[in-house]
Structure 1
Amino acid sequence: MIPPVPRRFGLLAYGDPNVDLVFAVDRAPAADEKVLGRHMGRHAGGTAANVACAAARLGLPSAAYGRVGRDDGNFLVAEFQRFGVDPKWVRPVAGPCATALILVQGNGEKALVYAPLPGWPLDTATLAPALEQSRVVYAMPYDLAEFEAVSRLARAAGTLVAIDVEAAVAPGPERLAALLPLADIVFFNEGGFRAATGLPPAPDHARPLLKQGPGLVVVTLGARGAIAVRGDESVTQRAFPARMVDATGAGDCFNAAVLARLLSGDHLADALRFAAAAASLAITAIGARAGFPYYDAVASVLGAADQGLPPSSSGR
């Protein structure tokens, strides 16, 4: 299932990175309501971009493919470089960058508004060689026609296709049925799984999805951990205890860690345990990437857990 090692990159993040404008609020406003908040800064973000940054920090060679606007494009490219992600396939376009408005509530949970760049990042002449140098391509497939083209190119290159399915990506079973044959690895959050399948996340509910194409299905459950199914395997992983400051990016970090460890040859159960430890560090700082840990920090959390010691709060 995993492509051979002699490729330059373990992971290629497909999709436009975005600027996150983060505000702290007691709670997200309802319709026709104003709430007071505190501006917590401008951060680099974007689902696939975050996964690449988390994977690179954990030791998996990663690259990014997408577009940036001319307003904050240099900032987003510099952030890729700071995390060790190769931005060679990130190109500038006219207009502003993709942007997300993130409201971090008092309990650490978030509400989000996303404004993407118009059109597709896809350019066959540049994407094909990028895929040929990568073992896995990771995408959030909002546009089905675009994703069909990406998947077709990836399959031709012998590159695995991993997707992130949220409720906005697959709001029902019909859309999910169109996506599953195009992917090898499917990640859901809890809301995405419920929306796409109409069922609560459980191994018995995830396993039938394997018959539609993917070889691995993973569902993150927030504070309750995660589940995964592959072949005859079913894995349930508890979350590691942590003081949650901002949940933004925690799922991206988890998914990146799963891929990083599977590409390193870990068993599925070990990969999920490592990913849960990584996610416990990712939620301890404001901003999607601020808490992304290095490998050694995750290993320390796992070692402390094995010895029954209290968890660390540092990803450094």
Structure 2
Amino acid sequence: MINILRNNDARRFGLLAFGDPNLDTVIAVDAVPRADQKCLGRRLGSFAGGTVANVACAASRLRIPVASYGRTGDDVAGEFLRAEFQRTGVSTAYLRSLSGKISANALIMLDKCGEKAVVYEPMPGPVLDPKTISQALVDSRLVHAMPYDLEEFFELSKLAHGTGTAVSIDIETAMVNGPARLDALLALSDLVFMNEQSFSEIVKKPLTAANVRALLERGPELIVVTRGAAGAIAVSRKQTVEQSAFRAQVVDTTGAGDCFNGAFIAALLEGRSLMQATRFACAAACISVTAVGARSGLPDREAVSALLAAADQSFDY
């Protein structure tokens, strides 16, 4: 078992997903336009999304008890986002509806290879609510966040560790403006996810096991870096696992990393080994790219097990 979880198996939720969900509007284009360019597009639809929200739904589909902690507006989009959480089994006990506010939105341009560009419009104001956060953390074994607001994340991490709740984060290039910011995020976290592009841009070094392990000295127990079609690398203080991706017919890569993170957390909460968790997450992510929309292709446990079995993986999930 990966040793970042406390003795909190009896808690109501395995995962608390800290962050606002958003409505994704997806438009197909031949190629994503650059500055001063215009292109024709074809609307593919509107879907429930949001990075942390997608992680929540991925884990819930894999039979982990999950709660969403965040906000929606009291608009039609907010009603839709809540209904989608309920459809995938995610508790909305800690999801607040704000009167007179518009839910978060994202515009996603999807090219003919399934790659994407995203414009995100967040809800203003803090996600953390002092009246509800403590009970939400007490109810949960692990909290997962995307910490763009460092002050808010500092408070979240302090409260989480005070209640014996592990802290997981996903780091993107846009949230790190220098080495001091990276050090602060790492020091406040137990489990860190990144993708290969963000790792190279933030760390200013190529993705190697040694370069990942050097970051562990700054605080976290485990760092996982996804590599798209090349799979993933997971590094703890005692072990390194490199896992290749599984074959997939790529339709839309939106949410593939979120699915990976949710599946990895699900395996972690079940006490799986680092190798098992990484294989399981890679398999889940490869299934997720076979449909349009961040959550449309999220697999259940049976689908992941079938893929692993077909690939001669003999793990009992």
Shared fold (TM-score greater than 0.5)?
A: yes
| 1:169 to partner: Cα distance | 1.7
Q: Which residue of 2 is the match for residue 78 of structure 1?
A: 83
Q: Which residue of 2 is the match for residue 311 of structure 1?
A: none
The answer to whether 1:201 aligns with 2:201 is no
Structure-1 separation of matches of 2:297 and 2:126: 30
Structure-1 separation of matches of 2:152 and 2:11: 25
- Asked which structure has the greater RCO (Cα within 8 Å, sep 6+), the reply is 2
Query: CA contact under 8 A between 1:50 and 1:253: conserved in structure 2?
Result: yes
| 1:232 to partner: Cα distance | 1.6
Structure-2 separation of matches of 1:136 and 1:33: 44
Q: Which residue of 1 is the match for residue 274 of structure 2?
A: 268
Q: Deviations over 1:108-167 (max 9, x none)?
A: 111001110111111122011000010000000001001111111101111000000011
The one of 204, 211, 214 equivalent to 2:217 is 211
Q: Residue 233 of structure 2: SS of its match in structure 1?
A: strand
**After alignment, is 2-11 or 128-137 more displaced?**
2-11
| 1:100 to partner: Cα distance | 0.6
Moved over 2 A (4+): 171-174
Q: Residue 297 of structure 1: SS of its match in structure 2?
A: helix
Structure-1 separation of matches of 2:179 and 2:309: 41
5+ long unaligned stretches in structure 1: 309-316
The answer to whether 1:134 aligns with 2:140 is yes
The TM-score normalised by the length of structure 2 is: 0.95
5+ long unaligned stretches in structure 2: none
Q: Which residue of 2 is the match for residue 122 of structure 1?
A: 128
Q: Which residue of 2 is the match for residue 48 of structure 1?
A: 52
Structure-2 separation of matches of 1:202 and 1:258: 20
The answer to whether 1:22 aligns with 2:26 is yes
Q: Residue 213 of structure 1: SS of its match in structure 2?
A: coil
The AA in structure 1 aligned to 2:96 is R
The one of 2, 5, 9 equivalent to 2:5 is 2
Which runs of structure 2 are paired with 1:1-316 in the superposition (5 Å)? 1-3=4-6, 4-71=8-75, 72-93=77-98, 94-306=100-312
Q: Deviations over 1:232-283 (max 9, x none)?
A: 2011000001011000010000011111011101100011001111001000
Structure-1 separation of matches of 2:175 and 2:166: 20
The AA in structure 2 aligned to 1:44 is A
| 1:191 to partner: Cα distance | 1.7
Structure-2 separation of matches of 1:303 and 1:172: 43
Structure-2 separation of matches of 1:30 and 1:171: 24
**Counterparts in 2 of 1:182 and 1:307: CA distance versus 1, 3 Å:** closer
Structure-2 separation of matches of 1:238 and 1:82: 31
| 1:170 to partner: Cα distance | 1.8
**After alignment, is 134-143 or 90-99 more displaced?**
90-99
Structure-2 separation of matches of 1:122 and 1:232: 34
Q: Deviations over 1:69-106 (max 9, x none)?
A: 12211110000000000011111113211111101111
The TM-score normalised by the length of structure 1 is: 0.96
Percent identity, aligned pairs only, is 54
Q: Deviations over 1:46-73 (max 9, x none)?
A: 1110000000001111000000012211
Query: CA contact under 8 A between 1:167 and 1:196: conserved in structure 2?
Result: yes
Structure-1 separation of matches of 2:176 and 2:243: 25
| 1:307 to partner: Cα distance | 7.6
| 1:173 to partner: Cα distance | 2.5
The AA in structure 1 aligned to 2:97 is P
Q: Residue 159 of structure 2: SS of its match in structure 1?
A: helix
**Counterparts in 2 of 1:68 and 1:233: CA distance versus 1, 3 Å:** same
Q: Deviations over 1:160-216 (max 9, x none)?
A: 000000111224423211111100000001121112211122211100111111000
Query: What is the number of equivalent residue pairs in this alignment?
Result: 308
Structure-1 separation of matches of 2:144 and 2:129: 16
**After alignment, is 172-181 or 52-61 more displaced?**
172-181
